[in-house]
Amino acid sequence: MGDHTGNYTLDFEKPVRDLENQIQDLRGVSGRPHLDLSTEVGALQKKVDKLITEIYGNLSPWERVQLSRHPNRPHASDYIRDVVSSFQELHGDRRFADDPSIIVGFGYIDGKKVAVLGIEKGRKTKDKVHRNFGMPRPEGYRKAIRIMKLADQFNIPIVSFVDTPGAYPGIGAEERGQASAIAENLAEMFDIKVPIISIIIGEGGSGGALGIAIADKVLMMEYSIYSVISPESCASILWADPKKGEKASKALKLSPSKAKELGVIDGTIEEPIGGAHRDHQKVFKTMKNRLSKELDSLAEISAKELTDSRFKKFRNMGNETICQVSFDSH
């Protein structure tokens, strides 16, 4: 794949890409004198539109996983750049170091002051290494909660963009208290008295995602995934073979519709047909409008109501599912 991802195409996207290349070729020659290919271009475009609807309307769980990781999907840094104005980034956890995999700071969304957090995977190889491929270390989570507490102190709502395969499991991270850093964030976020909105924009991997996603509104992009474990890790545990990730993806209920059904999320943000990577600007506009509406709605709720309902929502997760499983087993 290399660093250049502009023309990256997933296997199931190739029929669409082939037709789009044909359209591009026709448009390249249609400018010649006395040569009008607009009818042919129009016919091919209709085929493309129909094919996109068919393919993306019937994605398998594994294809959804692939799409959530598409190299051209907008990253947290892209949303921060195009959705948040006057963003000022802050650094460091005041205890050990700065973690570039989590971006934090303050800015404005549609004129509303917000604290912003985002887990960033990086785009090119050098940046991916710098961002640790979107796998935060404990200092990242401590930096995040530092900013959230600061926002709480000044009555500023919080927005977090989540895109991570999971928290970094390295020896150094464990030595510095990875598990406790995430656990402390979970506990602290229940007591934050300002509105919190979290959006799963790509991958929402386990506690690594949850460490900045204890929110009043948890939303998922249409083609994102949210799970307690990645399909590959699940396959490694169950069958000692990460290559069976496709099989595991069928059982993990990764999609927004399943997450909503289970009460894990509160809603879905629609993407352009074919995925967010096909039209960044449309996605940014949709995101900005949705966040503005959610911020307005949550601003009407008292601090006590926010914290009470937030705790109750997460505390009750799984209860209905457990009861159903228990009932079915009898």
Q: Which positions ≥6 away from 205 have C-beta within 8 Å?
A: 164, 165, 166, 227, 229, 230
Q: Is the Cβ–Cβ distance between 84 and 59 less than 8 Å? A: no
Question: Would you state the pLDDT for residue 327?
Answer: 39
Q: Is the Cβ–Cβ distance between 101 and 136 less than 8 Å? A: yes
Are β-strands 267-269 and 217-221 bridged in parallel, bridged antiparallel, or unpaired? Answer: parallel
Q: Which positions ≥6 away from 267 have C-beta within 8 Å?
A: 217, 219, 220, 260
d(Cα 88, Cα 230) in Å, to the nearest integer? Answer: 33
- pLDDT tens track for 129-174: 999 999 999 999 999 999 999 999 999 999 999 999 999 999 999 9
Number of other residues whose CB lies within 10 A of the CB of residue 141 = 27
Question: Would you state the pLDDT for residue 180?
Answer: 96
d(Cα 210, Cα 223) in Å, to the nearest integer? Answer: 18
- Positions of the chain with pLDDT under 70: 1-6, 27-37, 320-330
pTM: 0.88
Q: Is the Cβ–Cβ distance between 160 and 120 less than 8 Å? A: no
Question: Would you state the pLDDT for residue 277?
Answer: 93
Q: What SS3 state is found at 19?
A: helix
d(Cα 4, Cα 124) in Å, to the nearest integer? Answer: 7
Question: Would you state the pLDDT for residue 329?
Answer: 41
Q: Helix 280-298 crosses helix 76-83 at what angle (to 10 degrees)?
A: 70
d(Cα 309, Cα 40) in Å, to the nearest integer? Answer: 56
**Quick one: which of 252, 203, 205, 210 has its CA closest to 224?**
203
Question: Would you state the pLDDT for residue 11?
Answer: 85
Question: Would you state the pLDDT for residue 253?
Answer: 87
